[in-house]
């Protein structure tokens, strides 16, 4: 029996959409959400016309990437909490190994344009709130265990990650090295140890809600 042509077309459309989203995630993480649409299409292995049939404009693509990435990071955060022996280990796993987290930070904090596009998107907002709540629980658990300094909040961690992602170079290898080194310095600074207190108060998830 011949394959159903409609089913084949639907499968092709899903594959094209998945390839476009995967390419956009990679480029948004590296370059931010202003990455050229033509380059996204080329990386995805599809024509520009196919990209625009799936996503009629950049805003639609940013919303789709944000929704998918936030959902996946939330799953990763919950898995890290469930699988790692301590809350500190869960935090290190999430911020160090999650490529999706880097995408969400780019869209939620680094790019002013993406923040504006996503500000009134309710689905992205739901994922974002759930992710920040999970991050906040992980941090408070690590602090209660005495492994993380007590004078930081979830907002502090999110802002530090956003600063790390503002890479001063377009050299991929150097940018990767700089991210890994700066992240290690950040995590080292978050550990509990004798030293001076930070100025002011912890920055919370609520502080970032209306950014």
**What residue ranges do the domains of the chain occupy?**
1-56, 58-208
Torsion, CA 149, CA 166, CA 126, CA 200, rounded to 10: 40
- Exposed/middle/buried for 10, CB within 10 Å: 0-12, 13-18, 19+? exposed
Query: For residue 3, what pLDDT is reported?
Result: 54
Question: pLDDT class for 168, splitting at 50, 70, 90?
Answer: low
CATH 1.10.10.60 given to domain 1-56: yes
Domain 1-56 shares a fold with domain 58-208: no
Question: pLDDT class for 211, splitting at 50, 70, 90?
Answer: low
CB 51 within 8 A of CB 44: yes
- Exposed/middle/buried for 42, CB within 10 Å: 0-12, 13-18, 19+? middle
**pLDDT mean across residues, the chain:** 87
Position 27 pLDDT exceeds 50:
yes
Position 2 pLDDT exceeds 50:
no
CATH architecture of the domain 58-208 equals: Orthogonal Bundle (1.10)
Least confident residue range of 11-15, 121-125, 175-179, 189-193? 175-179
Least confident residue range of 71-75, 79-83, 206-210? 206-210
Read off the pTM. Answer: 0.80
Position 1 pLDDT exceeds 60:
no
| Segment 118-167, tens digit of pLDDT | 888 898 889 889 999 999 999 999 999 999 999 999 999 999 988 887 76
| Segment 185-208, tens digit of pLDDT | 999 999 987 777 877 888 888 888
Position 101 pLDDT exceeds 90:
no
What token pair was written down for 191?
A: 């550990």
Task: Give the C-alpha separation, 105 to 204, whole Å.
Answer: 15
Strand, helix or coil for residue 148: strand
- Partnered with residue 148 across adjacent β-strands are 191
User: Between residues 67 and 6, which one has the greater pLDDT?
Assistant: 67
């Amino acid at each position: 029996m011949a394959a159903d042509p409609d089913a084949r077309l639907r499968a092709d459309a899903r594959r094209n959409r998945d390839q476009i989203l995967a390419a956009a995630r990679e480029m948004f993480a590296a370059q931010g959400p202003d990455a050229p649409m033509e380059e996204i299409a080329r990386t995805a292995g599809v024509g520009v016309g196919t990209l625009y049939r799936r996503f009629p404009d950049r805003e639609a693509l940013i919303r789709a990437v944000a929704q998918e990435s936030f959902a996946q990071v939330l799953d990763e955060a919950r898995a890290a909490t469930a699988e790692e022996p301590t809350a500190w280990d869960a935090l290190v796993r999430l911020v160090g190994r999650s490529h999706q987290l880097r995408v969400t930070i780019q869209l939620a904090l680094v790019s002013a344009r993406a923040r504006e596009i996503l500000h009134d998107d309710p689905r992205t907002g739901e994922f974002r709130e759930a992710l920040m709540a999970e991050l906040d629980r992980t941090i408070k658990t690590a602090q209660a265990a005495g492994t993380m300094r007590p004078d930081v909040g979830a907002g502090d961690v999110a802002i530090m990650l956003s600063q790390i992602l503002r890479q001063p170079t377009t050299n991929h290898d150097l940018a990767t090295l700089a991210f890994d080194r700066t992240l290690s310095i950040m995590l080292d600074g978050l550990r509990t140890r004798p030293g001076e207190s930070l100025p002011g108060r912890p920055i919370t998830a609520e502080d970032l809600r209306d950014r």
